[in-house]
Amino acid sequence: MADAEGAERAGANEATRRKVETSLAKSEAEAQRLNVGKGEVLPSVAPHLESVHRAAADNRPEDLQRAFRETEEETERLRTENRAILAEQNRLLEEERLKVILQLSGTVAHDLNQPLTAIVGYTGLLKLEQTLSPENQHILDQIEQSARRIKDIIEKIQRAALVDPQPYKAGAVTVRFTRLHRILLLEDESKWLHKFVRLLEPYREYLHFDFASTCDEAERRLKEQDYDLVIADYQVGDSTSLDFIGRPTLPIDRPPFIMVTGKGDEKLAVQAVRNGFYDYLPKVDLDREALVKAIWSTVERSRLEKELQSARARIAEMATADGLTGLHNRRYLMERFEAELARVIRYEHSLGVCMVDVDHFKGINDRYGHAMGDRVLQHLAGCLRKLLRKSDICGRYGGEEFLVLLPNTDLANARRFAERLRKKVADDKLSLPGLTIPLTVSVGVAAWKKGLGGAELLRLADEALYRAKNEGRDRVCIAEEQG
């Protein structure tokens, strides 16, 4: 009987121990998810866990229950701290996201705060009027409430910090660098160089520094090496970093700049931002929190701006380019045609027009499939690119038809271009593994002359193309009215 009771108590103790260890494992997983190392969190729990193990081994139920309660209390405390850190991280990231959006739009919180303050003041004055109707009074109340809500958001943005003001452990911050960043320090005082390096020592795995003591040396390094950031003192020798950032000899794709100075004021800070600096830091009382915040926000803002520029370039390309051939699409091609025609009419310059069409294109599609038809159009686009001048304009006019605009080109030279194109397409057969497809094109040529409109010019080129098709294809024909 005693053996049975002892076995039951041992089983209960073992179940309690497993429950505690499961709870601890969950807490440890939460800590690791928040990048809090095992050695940084669990020492406070370890003594309680050891007590659980000793009580279970010695078969002391009361001690085991007490140790279990203490362990659960400590584990819950850790969970609460972890949740608080995660909530703070999310809040800070959201505020920084709003800040970056405002920065990308060219707006700063200070710029918005002034007119909003004026709106609140004006609404207060209007509400003093005795002649306001209840409806207008209600509208003014709504305007004032909305303005105050916006002011609250701006104040949050102005207070936004990327570093935890109450770090989880001494020296720790919630900012996370995910890759190596190369930073150029432009500073002629060694004591400040040492201070920067010392402040950023915890991030040496992600922040690599090069040093320059003169503006000329910094320029040389920027031309030799790609950097993610330049931290520059205001006064460097006989020059200033304001002068340096404006040098026309700096690389066009230079990295973002942060200014640090021991002599500055608000006026200098405004001047720095207007001249292209991303941030401004006074050396007085410079600490790790402010420096890390400035570095992280600057490199992130620079990254977002580059992504935005790339996205805009892609959008512009999609709006003007034919998706299959990469040449101009018809809409953009006609815009360019109208602009070029206006220039030609104004200055009475010459303009040649070639309408190009692939011969027997429907037969190619029917025999080899539409995918092969796409390859044919891409091949023709490649032939056109090899012959075009920088001033020439070419695009897909529709289906297998292409339109070529030749500025400062008379009818005779436009015809010579068309003959070179016809010959090149015939000579450069489309060769694929196990298959060679001979190609030819027909070309209609026309040229602008005084009194001729855009629609009429295109009609002449199209009629010449139609005649080239009827006369046997693989040929160039000039508009009859101009021949």
pLDDT at 151 over 80: no
Distance CA 293, CA 306 (A): 20
The DSSP bridge partners found for residue 257 are: 230
Give the pLDDT score at 150. 75
Residue 268: CB atoms within 10 A of its CB come to: 17
Q: Which of 67-81, 249-263, 269-283, 323-337 has the lowest mean pLDDT?
A: 67-81
pLDDT at 66 over 80: no
Give the pLDDT score at 386. 96
Give the pLDDT score at 243. 94
Tokens (6 digits) for 51: 């007590």
Distance CA 241, CA 155 (A): 30
Give the pLDDT score at 167. 40
Give the pLDDT score at 52. 56
Q: Is 69 exposed, middle or buried (0-12, 13-18, 19+ CB in 10 A)?
A: exposed
Distance CA 373, CA 325 (A): 12
Which of the four pLDDT bands, split at 50, 70 and 90, describes residue 107? very low
Chosen CATH of 330-478 out of 3.40.50.300, 3.30.70.270, 3.30.470.20, 3.20.20.70: 3.30.70.270
Give the pLDDT score at 408. 96
Q: How far is CA 314 from CA 317, 320, 321, 331, in A?
A: 5, 10, 10, 17
pLDDT per residue over 433-471, tens digit each?
888 999 999 999 999 999 999 999 999 999 999 999 999
Q: What phi and psi, each to the nearest 5 degrees, are found at residue 468?
A: -60, -35
pLDDT at 72 over 60: yes
Give the pLDDT score at 54. 65
Which of the four pLDDT bands, split at 50, 70 and 90, describes residue 114? low
Distance CA 366, CA 198 (A): 72
CATH H-level superfamily of 181-317: Response regulator (3.40.50.2300)
Q: In this predicted model, which residue has the larger pLDDT, 219 or 266?
A: 219
Q: Which of 131, 97, 16, 10 is nearest to 59 (CA)?
A: 10
Quick one: CA dihedral 465, 466, 472, 473, positive or negative? positive
Kindly report the pTM of this predicted structure: 0.50
Give the pLDDT score at 347. 92
**CB–CB of 406/417 below 8 Å?**
yes
pLDDT at 126 over 60: yes
Which of the four pLDDT bands, split at 50, 70 and 90, describes residue 36? very low
Number of separate helices (H) and strands (E) present in the chain: 16, 14
Tokens (6 digits) for 184: 């150029």
Q: What phi and psi, each to the nearest 5 degrees, are found at residue 210?
A: -120, 155
Which of the four pLDDT bands, split at 50, 70 and 90, describes residue 135? confident
pLDDT at 420 over 70: yes
Highest mean pLDDT out of 17-26, 30-39, 420-429: 420-429
Which of the four pLDDT bands, split at 50, 70 and 90, describes residue 359? very high
pLDDT at 53 over 90: no
Query: Which residues, at least 6 apart from 226, have a Cβ–Cβ distance to it below 8 Å?
Result: 182, 255
Percent over 70 (pLDDT), the chain: 71
Rounded to 10°, the helix 411-427/370-387 angle is 130
Tokens (6 digits) for 32: 């690791």
Distance CA 255, CA 251 (A): 9
Residue 144 one-letter amino acid: E
pLDDT at 174 over 80: no
Q: How far is CA 315 from the centre of its chain?
A: 13
Give the pLDDT score at 432. 85
Q: In this predicted model, which residue has the larger pLDDT, 103 or 473?
A: 473
To the nearest whole number, what is the mean pLDDT of the chain? 81
Distance CA 475, CA 339 (A): 30
Q: In this predicted model, which residue has the larger pLDDT, 396 or 109?
A: 396
Question: What mean pLDDT comes out for the span 190-219?
Answer: 91
Give the pLDDT score at 268. 86
Strand pairing report for 441-447 and 435-437: unpaired
Give the pLDDT score at 50. 64
Residue written as tokens 């330049």?
A: 230
